[in-house]
Amino acid sequence: MRIGVLASGSGSNLQAILDACASRAIPAQVAVVICNVADAKALQRAEAARVPALLLPHQKVVSREEYDRQVVTALQKHSVDVVCLAGFMRLITPVLLGAYKDRILNIHPSLLPAFPGLHAVRQALAAGVRVSGCTVHVVDEGTDTGPILIQAAVPVLEGDTEETLAARILLQEHRCYPRAVALWAAGRVRIESGRVRVQGAAGRADRTIASPELSD
């Protein structure tokens, strides 16, 4: 399986996927990394891993659709089977969605459907939630609304700032995203009636993730 990663920033999730491919925890390879920001660290990470790295700045492209056409051309040139959005801070259009229908994954720093869109960690702090986390989902036409594949929860601690909570969530993202892609690469993910079904996954009804106050 060939993965195309779209990123805009630091690329730490890209790195987690690259590392998991290198260790064969993900039985697949990253075929291309596409980035819309010239100085994004994600590009350096791709180059260090000897993966084709493509800078596609969006500023001079006339429309979102035209931009996505260029993305699709690049993905197809590298024979990409599945697309991973890894901190890609652009809305995607039906052009990309249609070319890779039900084959685009995204990671988002909240327990969706709570706090979709921009500044998810800031939204969670503003709402006063005691538990937050991250979600890997299949992308559909909505903003962060697609079928959920994996989630992990973290506590929100007294005195947390956007930075401290985002860092705690990011650690879980680095566990969740490679795991989700590995399940995908193993052909274990099905979408049925708008829900993800992971084949061969036993239910774990005995496990509870709870906010820390519950164990006092």
Q: Which of 133, 112, 115 is nearest to 123 (CA)?
A: 115
Does position 5 bind ligand GAR by CB under 6 A? no
SS3 162: helix
Does position 109 bind ligand GAR by CB under 6 A? yes
Number of residues lying near ligand GAR (CB under 6 A): 14
Establish whether 108 is a catalytic residue: yes
- Phi and psi, residue 45, nearest 5°: -65, -40
* Strands (E) located in the chain: 2-7, 29-35, 53-55, 82-85, 104-108, 131-138, 148-155, 189-192, 195-198
Q: Which is nearer to ligand GAR, 109 or 155 (CB)?
A: 109
Please answer whether residues 26 and 187 qualify as being in contact, where contact means their C-beta atoms are separated by less than 8 angstroms. Answer: no
Does position 120 bind ligand GAR by CB under 6 A? yes
């702090």: which residue's tokens?
A: 125
Single residue of 12, 123, 132, 172 touching ligand GAR by CB under 6 A = 12
SS3 153: strand
Does position 11 bind ligand GAR by CB under 6 A? yes
Give 133's contacts (C-beta < 8 A, 6+ positions apart). Answer: 110, 111, 151, 152, 153, 154, 169, 172
Closest separation between CB of residue 211 and ligand GAR, Å?
21
Does position 9 bind ligand GAR by CB under 6 A? yes
Single residue of 72, 83, 108, 176 touching ligand GAR by CB under 6 A = 108
Site string for ligand GAR, 18-57 (x = CB under 6 A): ----------------------------------------
Q: Which is nearer to ligand GAR, 9 or 52 (CB)?
A: 9
Cα dihedral across residues 75, 67, 113, 108: positive or negative: positive
Closest separation between CB of residue 127 and ligand GAR, Å?
16
Positions marked active-site: 108
Binding site for ligand GAR (CB under 6 A): 7, 9-13, 86-87, 107-109, 120, 170, 173
